Amino acid sequence: MTGQVRTVDGRVAGRRGQATRQKLLECLSEMLSTSPYRDVKVIDVARMAGTSPATFYQYFPDVEGAVLELAEEMAKEGATLTDLVAGRTWVGKPAWAAAEDLVDGFLSFWRKNDAILRVVDLGAAEGDKRFYKIRMKILNAVTNSLTDSIKELQDKGRVDKSVNPAAVAGSLVAMLAAVAAHQKGFQSWGVKQAELKPNLALLVHLGVTGKKPTK
């Protein structure tokens, strides 16, 4: 952890306090991966961390406040998703590699953070602006870079001028997010993970370039 960590009442937490706070967050994260968000209670998180509810409330106002801390940390990591698109070539064979890498990186990020992303999606769907902003921060990391890539193709005459780059990029990223959140569900349709990725990459490639991939 970097920078000063403060308690709810504004005091600067010492090294032991920071370790306790981090332990509470780790236990909360673990509980979210096995229990519905609404079922997670402060007393259960504190018990798992080997401390008391009173200690939990020194660092977080409630479970939701701690979840937001986890979500903010995840959003910072999500900012690196832009690297999946920025500087990539979307012409010829490199375009297919770019589409594959984007799909693989996006799905991997979602799997790694599945528990907290489910809570973020729930909060955003219920109109909580704090969760909505976090969700958009993650999606914008890809959408903005993808928009720039499509604009570049458009400027070079490789994509029709009638195409709205932001609309296409936003649609593709929304599709990726929906698919990423539904990865386990594809199995019920008889679709294996190894089959999902190349077909999703095909849709991304078609969406960005308007052409079939050159493999």
Q: What is the pLDDT of residues 146-188, one digit of tens each?
A: 999 999 999 999 999 999 999 999 999 999 999 999 998 999 9
What is the CATH number that goes with domain 73-209?
Answer: 1.10.357.10
Residue 18: per-residue pLDDT: 85
Please write the tens of the pLDDT for every residue from 38-82: 999 999 999 999 999 999 999 999 999 999 999 999 999 999 999
This model's pTM is above 0.85:
yes
| For the chain, percent of residues with pLDDT exceeding 70 | 93
Written as six digits, the tokens of 200 are: 């999703």
CATH code reported for the domain at 1-61:
1.10.10.60
- 140, burial (CB in 10 Å: exposed 0-12, middle 13-18, buried 19+): middle
pLDDT of 213 above 80: yes
pLDDT category at 215 given cuts 50, 70, 90 is: confident
pLDDT band of 2, cuts 50, 70, 90: very low
Work out the pLDDT band at 1, boundaries 50, 70, 90.
very low
* Residues carrying CATH 1.10.357.10, the chain: 73-209
